[in-house]
A = this chain, B = another copy of it.
């Protein structure tokens, strides 16, 4: 790519950066938690349509994806699970095609009194934008969109087809990205600006979600006996799960990408609900668990061991022995994925193009990182043979209070993305 084009693209990003921050702020103000993504998706579709992208907006149909590899079981209806894709079809087809992917769903804000400002009333201060989802990952959606805008501002369009995806369900199943695959969207590479500090993600973990349901015979507390309490019966099961977590993290179990991390696989008790009356011995308790697995680790084998651990612990418990826990899977059945294991020339080329773009913008070498979370990258990499580059801005407190994203970092990512597009797809005159 010519040096002057790089400069023009970067200048175009700078010129529109104030509008980009305003866009991010507006997008973050849509409280697009699971089941409430429609207003944010409407906003995205309008913004894409204004820019004359062809719009594909559809509701996920479980029947169309549930047989596919990578599908995760879900509880509840998908009435509000709507994906949006904006399509650029290249006139010249002189370059490679690209998927620019981001997720619109955000995790719950938690108790509002723990936020300094309301989570869905974004604030800009000291170079950060604060708000739930600002980092994870609406800044990435903004970066994808305004990188394309930078090309347009230079009178250019990508010289290959580009699919701008705004998907739901990343935070619980990935079924939004899977539905895009099922609808036929593939390309020569995918870029996902998840907030990992301007590093290239070379490996990500798999994730399994499960619920443990405990039931028993309740009674008036006046007649309570030790161990008859469904809430407290959960404690030894949780203890046994942590022992399993410890075993899975043992050094001999770690693949190369995670050799240096002594605790990459985190087991999280994310939710618990039990009982309904202070003076009744609780007859039921449900807790929700997230457990990570390494790339290459089998989901089925992991599930079998999880079930064994829970049932063994339950059989050791007087209360649970006669009323064994029920294990319900809903949410992530996500395999791990390692871009670093993709030995194709296409993957090497995509990484090389991103290396150059990153270095051009930031002046430093693109760092690699194996992350302890999952992303939608797995769908492209594992099930569609596409290199999936996860590369996005720096953010803090994602899934926490006062989540924030570094705006100068978003600016650099936007510039690097514009350069990546122009290089990977080549350009054509509008």
Please give the residue numbers on chain A whose beta carbons come within 8 Å of chain B beta carbons, in ascending order. Answer: 107-108, 110-111, 114, 136, 171-172, 205, 207, 209, 215, 217-224, 229, 231-232, 235, 238, 266, 268-285, 287-290, 292, 331-332, 371-373, 397-401
Contact = CB atoms under 8 A, between A and B. Distances in A.
B270 A279 contact: yes
Contacts of A219: 397-400
Given A114-B283, A272-B285, A278 B331 contact: yes
19 contacts: A108-B276, A114-B284, A136-B220, A171-B277, A209-B278, A218-B399, A218-B400, A219-B398, A220-B399, A221-B373, A221-B399, A222-B371, A224-B266, A235-B235, A270-B279, A270-B282, A272-B285, A278-B290, A280-B399
A245 B373 CA distance: 42
A114 B213 CA distance: 13
Contacts of A215: 111, 114
A399 B278 CA distance: 11
A248 B305 CA distance: 41
A282 B398 CA distance: 13
Contacts of A221: 266, 268, 270, 290, 292, 373, 399
Given A222-B371, A371-B222, A269 B275 contact: yes
A235 B215 CA distance: 19
A393 B136 CA distance: 60
Given A271-B276, A272-B272, 14 more contacts: A171-B277, A172-B278, A221-B268, A229-B268, A231-B287, A232-B269, A269-B275, A271-B274, A271-B275, A272-B274, A272-B275, A272-B282, A278-B288, A279-B332
